[in-house]
């Protein structure tokens, strides 16, 4: 007999999914991190459709994690600190509703922890946090070309200018949570 690991899911949006995937895939307890689309009504949208702003989807990551190795609260702590939750429908130069900040909670416990986390994180910002906290309703994995983007394209200008600083912050500020 063996002990089967009971995994949990978290679905979050904090700007470009290339960035969030790169950050969260480095956390211990993150078994899989899949970029995709969530929050809209169109089934199986393409990247181009989501970028049009017409589908209602956000670029998200869905994290399957081992709650015995990393808690949802710890995931949220990293989430609040590795993007700007005060920017409405954008992160830096990535502009549009697909880049909005959202936590799609999977159960009442996640909802409560997300609301508590937002309240606590607000103390670090002078302007209001605009992150939505809404029920999870769907997830559609992104096309293969968007998966492990940073790992496969780390020398690309976007990765060097936008993602590398996030990874450096992660290594500096979140050492105990890293694989």
Residues noted as catalytic: 16
Using an 8 Å Cβ cutoff, are 97 and 1 in contact? Answer: no
Using an 8 Å Cβ cutoff, are 14 and 118 in contact? Answer: no
Residues 6+ apart with CB under 8 A from 70: 27, 28, 29, 30, 177
Residue located via tokens 């509703």: 97
| DSSP code of residue 85 | T
Q: How far apart are alpha carbons 105 and 11 in whole angstroms? A: 7
| DSSP code of residue 143 | P
């Amino acid at each position: 007999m063996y002990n089967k690991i009971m995994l949990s899911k978290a679905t979050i949006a904090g700007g470009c999914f290339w960035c969030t995937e790169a950050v969260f895939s480095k956390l211990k307890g993150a078994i899989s991190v899949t970029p995709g689309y969530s929050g809209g009504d169109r089934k199986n949208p393409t990247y181009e459709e989501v970028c049009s702003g017409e589908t209602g989807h956000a670029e998200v990551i869905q994290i399957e994690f081992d709650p015995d190795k990393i808690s949802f609260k710890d995931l949220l702590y990293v989430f609040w600190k590795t993007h700007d939750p005060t920017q409405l429908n954008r992160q830096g130069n990535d502009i549009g509703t697909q880049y909005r900040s959202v936590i799609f909670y999977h159960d009442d416990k996640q909802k409560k922890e997300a609301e508590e986390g937002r309240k606590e994180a607000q103390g670090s910002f002078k302007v209001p946090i605009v992150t939505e906290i809404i029920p999870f309703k769907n997830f559609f994995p992104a096309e293969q070309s968007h998966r492990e983007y940073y790992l496969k394209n780390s020398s690309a200008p976007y990765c060097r200018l936008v993602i590398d600083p996030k990874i450096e912050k992660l290594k500096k500020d979140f050492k105990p949570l890293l694989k």
